[in-house]
Amino acid sequence: MHRSPACPSPDLVRRCLLLAAAASTVAPVLAQGTYPWRPVRIVVPWAPGGLVDTGGRVVADAIGKNLGQAAMVENVPGAAGTLGADQVAKATPDGHVLLMGTSSLAIDVAGARKTAYDLLRDLAPVALVADTQSVVVVPPASPLQSLADLIAAAKAQPGALAYGTPGMGSPAHLFTEQFCQLAQIKMLHVPYNRSPAINDLMGGRLQVMFATAPASLNHIRNKLLRPLAVTGAHRLAGLPDVPTVAEAGLPGYHAGQWLGVFAPSGTPPATVQKLNAEITRAVRSPAVVKALEDRALDPRTATPAEFGKVVAEEIARWTTVMRSGGIRLE
């Protein structure tokens, strides 16, 4: 039975509002010179080569070229991205250690994941870099020809259609769960931890997947997967003929991931603003726009306060989805 969405708790709402204002309320630390006065370390809390790593290298290049100091990306994978985030949260708040974060930070708060740091207290939003969306894909031989077919099949056999994700509480899981809640359907979640779920999808052992655009585009072009819809608020440049989920029959649906930079709380506001200006300038440059779009990423910029509001809104949205779906992170 379809359940009414649960509302975030008043305490969570209050903490989210504090996060949205974090950029203007962080306490300054003792200045030691014109920022940056030493190399900048950008922590990417995931393995090299992925979406977050791409964003981190864009930021490192911007700082290195525009601020006159070396900027180094350091990959610190582990604990679902929380290991690297914890290092930044505990770093000296002078702008020389930054975090390349994703929507997973907001999902962790929404799912009450136990972490050694508190996103809303220990990290300050600095700048957005990009958005990405996912593609609803099926095997080439699937009888499902449209999103309407998928919904009809799921309604005809509740829980029979299997979808794969990288794990419980992953963006792919929540994007699919939000879809199921709005469509009032049930599908079988198959979480994968080590082997990519997309391999089993191509092999026909799964029926559908909400796969990131960067991970699925080449498979789609090589006819190894077939797209039904994209999850964003607009069509994907690389798949102009594929409708959004909302266009395909589920109004109000949209889901995606952002990439953005955080600093330890207490970083001087002038440093945060300087970083925001340089990262924003880089993200808007033609070369970076092309580099991001080539990787199926949409360049996106915002002030620190605007970025804080984005994070707060995501926490509230995924809290509702997770509570309605009975999802809690360990």
- Looking at every residue in the chain, the average pLDDT score rounds to 90
Q: Which two tokens stand for residue 19?
A: 């996060």
Q: With beta carbons less than 8 A apart as the criterion, state whether 265 and 124 touch.
A: yes
Beta bridge partners of 163: 189, 208
Q: Taking the CB of residue 204, how many other CB atoms lie within 10 A of it?
A: 12
Here the tokens at position 318 are: 């995924």
What are the structure tokens assigned to 197, written together?
A: 């779920």
> Which of 58-67, 228-237, 307-316 has the weakest average pLDDT?
58-67
> Residue 212 CA to chain centroid, in angstroms?
10
List all residues 6 or more positions away from 195 whose beta carbon is below 8 Å from its beta carbon. Answer: none
Find residue 42's DSSP bridge partners: 73, 98
* pLDDT tens for each residue of 2-23: 444 455 665 665 565 555 554 4
pLDDT of residue 231: 97
We find that the CATH architecture of domain 133-230 is 3-Layer(aba) Sandwich (3.40)
Name residue, tokens 């996106």. 300
What is the location of CATH 3.40.190.150 in the chain? 10-132+257-325
216 touches 198 (CB < 8 A): yes
Q: Which residues in the chain are classed under CATH 3.40.190.10?
A: 133-230
- What is the distance between the alpha carbons of residues 134 and 171, in angstroms, rounded to a whole number? 9
Instruction: State the Cα–Cα distance between residues 112 and 116, nearest whole angstrom.
Output: 12
45 band by pLDDT with thresholds 50, 70 and 90:
very high
| pLDDT tens-place string over residues 234-246 | 999 889 999 999 9
259-311 confidence digits (pLDDT tens): 999 999 999 999 999 999 999 999 999 999 998 988 889 999 999 999 999 99
Task: Give the global pTM.
Answer: 0.87
pLDDT at 10: 58
Contact call for residues 291 and 279 (beta carbons, < 8 A): no
CATH class of 10-132+257-325: alpha beta
